[in-house]
Structure 1
């Protein structure tokens, strides 16, 4: 019985390419605003440059932005914005006028409503569903 040489899939032609200029520029522009944002950006960079299996790609796609029930990162970011724009959960806003407080809070709540729209998540869900893992 002869053994065939192992085929390597880790060739230059199969390498994960570097970040595209748009994503790299966006990450660069957002770096240094807050340590929490830097952690999020590190996660985005890691996910973008990591080698994924099809199943992982499918799961990441739906987890980032494609959950029908709002259990995804995009919805979590919306809820985070709503939290930091609410004077009840962000004391720094309490020095604003009452009208300004309500305007800021309503804008954050409107963002959650907009990001919770199932149509917004449908594209990522469609992409995830189109990946057939056997």
Structure 2
């Protein structure tokens, strides 16, 4: 059911599932805080149907070309000793295991089914 606010103001996210999750992610790293801030901005900004459709597609609706895929690629970058020198001090088997899991994440996040609902939501907003 839709939550309506006076003058169509965007309702706050505080105390919602999204707001609580964003709060839980605070303080890990400045980059994560920037991501949190960006997601909060997106959630609280006024949008048109067109910008809403575009944001939904950019966030998770286009396997290989969305934020969800970018997060997977970032995890793969972090879990590879080739691109993260901090892992080179680990034993070889740990390095290989970490890299393998990062590569698996990229593979699984590339599954079009994972992006299908966001893609269909964007299409529905677009009238398709």
Shorter-chain TM-score above 0.5: yes
Shift in Å, 1:95: 1.0
Counterpart in 2 of 1:66? 61
Number of residue equivalences: 122
Cα deviation code 1:64-118 (max 9, x no counterpart): 00014x1000000000000000001001111111011000000000000010100
Shift in Å, 1:13: 4.6
Cα deviation code 1:21-51 (max 9, x no counterpart): 2111111111110000000000000000001
Q: If the length of structure 1 is used for normalisation, what is the TM-score? A: 0.87
Across the aligned residues of Structure 1 and Structure 2, the Cα RMSD in angstroms comes to 1.3
Are 2:119 and 1:125 equivalent residues in the alignment? Answer: yes
Shift in Å, 1:132: 3.1
Matches within 5 A, 1:1-134: 12-19=6-13, 21-68=16-63, 70-132=64-126
Larger radius of gyration: 1
Q: In 2, Cα distance between the equivalents of 1:25 and 1:132? A: 30
Q: In 1, Cα distance between the equivalents of 2:124 and 2:17? A: 25
Q: If the length of structure 2 is used for normalisation, what is the TM-score? A: 0.91
Q: Which runs of 5+ in 1 are unaligned?
A: 1-10
SS of corresponding position for 1:89: coil
Q: In 2, Cα distance between the equivalents of 1:57 and 1:86? A: 35
Q: In 2, Cα distance between the equivalents of 1:92 and 1:16? A: 43
